[in-house]
Structure 1
Amino acid sequence: MRMVKKRFVLPLFLLMLIALFFSSGWMAWVYPIGYKEEIRKQSDSYNIDPFLIASIIRVETNFKSSKESRVGAMGVMQLMPDTADWAIEQGKLPEATHDRIKHEPATNIEIGTWYLRNLSNQFGDNSLEVIAAYNAGPGNVKKWLKEGTWDGTLENVRDIPIGETRHYIQRVVYYYNQYTKVYETF
């Protein structure tokens, strides 16, 4: 009797695993996106690809709010305090305290997405240059491009002199590609 149960249960279990594997939604468990409404709202407001915003958040904090890095970057998009203050002033964004930027994902995503729009304007919507500038600062990226250190392509990302930025770009691009495969729309 036990042998019959095992012969029945194992194939049933394998069938369920195969069905799960081929169902369309299983990859969303592996690549979840948090704060979808906030991302969608700011994506529409600032005309930034929502998958880019989600990919940056995934790499920065894996959608965990209230994070602060060892260098002081705050919230889900890991905004540096000076960058956040500058963005609030330049973008005429609603005043936000550093505490709100750190603990309120909606506030952090609004400021971070405005900053991505600003970077996109500076770098002609070249998403790789924008990602690099988000990590290393626009001054560094402009210097690399002007001096020919890096040509702004993924193929030559190894030419970027800061290892953290090279790795950052590769990770953001990886998650961007996964999100666009897993989710038909945002």
Structure 2
Amino acid sequence: MKLRVRKRFYLIVLLIICAVLFVKSDLLAPIIYPVHFKDDIRISASNYNVEPQLVAAIIRSESNFKTGRESRKGALGLMQIMPSTAEWVVQKAGFDNVSVDMLRDRADISIEVGTWYLSSLVEQFDNNKIAAVAAYNAGPGNVRKWLNSGVWDGNLETVKQIPFGETRHYVQRVHYYYNKYKELYPNM
């Protein structure tokens, strides 16, 4: 009899905890949507006039904040920059003593290079963050072609018109995380 009462007690406690977490889900949000490397993100975002929440959303989508990553296509680091793009950024931005190999394991370097690149895309696409995020994934040439030919108008509402499924889902995923991070970390 005591065992049955104890099981009921634990079941009731578990149900109460689940109900509290359901009603106050914002208690779990920082655990579900953590942001690592906040200082590096904040500094780079400030340096290149990009919202830190957008940088964090790209990192979450690209590497889930895990250093040492290399994609099947060869993209490196937290922000998954292709080596050729990284070389271009390093040369254009004038980053001294930065090598492509540093992207893999140095969070600060990966964030700095990736944020500079993101900023250049935002500028290229006239402050259209949605088009810039699409270009981060598909390349600026593809996005420019879609915009110029009328295949896609660069808006989130018409993201289903993006011809690359991977890019379509990427834009939606980054936008989702961006909104979550703005809600959870407004003063990042």
TM-score range, shorter chain: over 0.9
Tell me the residue number matched to 1:144. Answer: 146
User: Are 1:6 and 2:16 matched, yes or no?
Assistant: no
Question: Structure 1 residue 176 and structure 2 residue 178: aligned?
Answer: yes
**Runs of 4 or more consecutive aligned structure 1 residues displaced over 4 Å after TM superposition:** none
Candidates 57, 61, 64, aligned match of 2:63: 61
Q: Which residue of 1 aligns with 2:112?
A: 110
RMSD: 1.6
Question: For the residues of structure 1 that align with 2:50 and 2:142, how far apart are their CA atoms?
Answer: 22
With normalisation by structure 2, the TM-score equals: 0.91
1:150–1:159 CA contact under 8 A, matched in 2? yes
Instruction: State the shift of 1:23 in Å.
Output: 6.0
Aligned mates of 2:45, 2:178 — CA distance in 1: 15
TM-score normalised according to structure 1 size: 0.92
Letter in structure 1 aligned against 2:94: K
Q: Give the SS at the match of 1:173.
A: helix
Q: Cα distance, 1:83 vs. partner?
A: 0.7
Quote the residue 2:123 is aligned against.
121
Q: By how many angstroms is 1:3 displaced? A: 3.7
Determine if the alignment matches structure 1 residue 72 to structure 2 residue 85.
no
The size of the alignment, in residue pairs, is 186
Aligned to 1:15: 16
Q: CA deviation at 1:182?
A: 2.8
Shift of the alpha carbon at 1:100?
Answer: 0.8
Gaps of 5+ in 2: none
Contact map agreement 1:88 1:95 (CA 8 A) in 2? no
Per the alignment, residue 48 of structure 1 pairs with: 50
Residue 96 of structure 2 corresponds to: 94
The percentage of aligned residue pairs carrying the same residue is: 47
- Residue 162 of structure 1: how far off its partner (Å): 1.5
Q: Taking structure 1 as reference, are residues 71 and 8 closer, same or farther at Cα in structure 2, changes over 3 Å only? A: closer
Residues 136-145 or 12-21, more deviating: 12-21
Per the TM alignment, residue 24 of structure 1 is displaced from its structure 2 partner at its CA by 3.6
Contact 1:66 1:102 in 2 (8 A): yes
What does the per-residue CA deviation read over 1:56-80, in whole Å, with 9 as the maximum and x for residues that have no partner? 1111111111111111110010001
CA distance in 1, matches of 2:4, 2:75: 59
Tell me, yes or no, if the aligned pair for 1:149 and 1:160 is still in contact at 8 Å. Answer: yes
Write the distance in 2 (CA, Å) between the matches of 1:101 and 1:184: 27
